[in-house]
Amino acid sequence: MSDFTSAFWNWYIAVLTVGSIIGCAVLLWMQTTRRAPGAKIDTTGHVWDEDLQEWNNPLPNWWRWLFYITVVFALVYLAFYPGLGSFRGSLGWTQSRQYDDEVKKAEAVYGPIYAKYAAMSIEQVAADREAMAIGQNLYLNYCAQCHASDARGAKGFPNLADADWQWGGDPKQIEETILGGRTAVMPPQGAALGGDGVKDVAHYVMSLSGMASDSIRVARGKEKFAQICAACHGPEGKGNPALGAPNLTDRIWLYGGSEADIAATIQHGRTGQMPAWKDLLGEAKAHVLAAYVWGLTHQPGK
C-alpha cells in the first residue's frame, strides 16, 4: 500500500500533466503552416459525390488561437488550483474547505430557525406549517430514496404513513431511530425447522392475521412457533418494539405477505439496516424530520 502513497506518484502526476499540456502546444505549433500567396492548394485526396473535395488548408488563425488560449488557461488554472499531485495551488482551495464554508454560511442563516424548533416538542413542531414544509424537504432529500416520496415505502422498506411501527411510533422513538439508526435481524430458522416445519410455521403466522391457511399445518406450526419464534414476537405474535420484532397479527408485511414470502423469511432470515443520521443531520434537523414523519399519521383527520 505504501507504493501508492510515496512522493513519487505526486511528481509522476505533475510531470505527466504539465508535459501533456506543453506537448499539445508544441504539436499545435508544429502543425501550423502558412500558405504563400498564389501557391497551389493541394487536396487530401478525399472526394465525395464526384466533385466534392477536401482541401488541405491550414486552420484559420482565430481557431488556432483558441487552442493556444486553452493551453494557457490550463497552465494558469494549475497554478491557482490543485491538479499537480499534492500541490494545492497558490489559492489553497480544496473541496472540503469550500464545503465547510458553505455549511457555515447555511448554519448562520438556518441555524436560528432549527434552534427555535429544537426547543419545541415534536408534537408542537408537527403543528407548525412552516416546520412541516422544512421537514418535508429534509425527508425528500434524505429519506425518499428508500421510503418513497409518499412515505409508503417498498418491499424491505417500511411504510411510514400507516401508523405501524417496528421500533415504536412515539415521537421520541422516531427521533431515536433517525439519530441512531436501527439494525433488525431475523435469524434463519430453516436448519432448525426443516422444510415441512418452515411451512407449518408459515401457515400458523398466516392464521394470526386471518389469512387463509391449512388448519393441520397451523396446529403443528403453533407449537413450533412457541418454541422458536415467541421469544421475539411474543406468545401471541404481536411483536416487541424494543427488539424490532414486528407484529405478525396486523397483515402488514415488510417483505411480502404471501405464503412464499413468509416461508422465505422463516427459512433464510432477514437483515434490515436503517442508517444513523445524527452525524449528517444533527439533532436539530433530526428533530424537525421526526416531527414530519410523526405528523404523517397524526395530523388532524388522519
Q: What is the pLDDT of residues 181-237, one digit of tens each?
A: 999 999 999 999 999 999 999 999 999 999 999 999 999 999 999 999 999 999 999
Specify the 3-state DSSP secondary structure of 43: strand
Determine the pLDDT at residue 32. 73
Statement: the pTM of the whole predicted model exceeds 0.75:
no
Determine the pLDDT at residue 1. 47
**Quick check: 283 and 125 in contact, CB under 8 A?**
no
What is the spatial distance between Cα 196 and Cα 136, in angstroms, rounded to a whole number? 47
Dihedral Cα 41, 47, 50, 53, nearest 10 deg: -30
Q: What is the pLDDT of residues 86-137, one digit of tens each?
A: 888 899 898 999 999 998 999 999 999 999 999 999 999 999 999 999 999 9
Tell me the backbone φ, ψ of residue 144, rounded to 5 degrees. Answer: -65, -25
- CATH 3.20.20.10 for domain 184-274, yes or no, is no
In this model, does residue 22 exceed pLDDT 50? yes
- CATH 3.40.190.10 for domain 106-181+275-295, yes or no, is no
Query: Residue 84 has what DSSP assignment?
Result: B
Determine the pLDDT at residue 4. 59
Give ranges for CATH 1.10.760.10 in the chain: 106-181+275-295, 184-274
Query: Residue 243 has what DSSP assignment?
Result: T
The gap between the terminal CA atoms of the chain, to the nearest Å, is: 58
Helix (H) or strand (E) holding 185: strand 182-186
**Quick check: 186 and 262 in contact, CB under 8 A?**
no
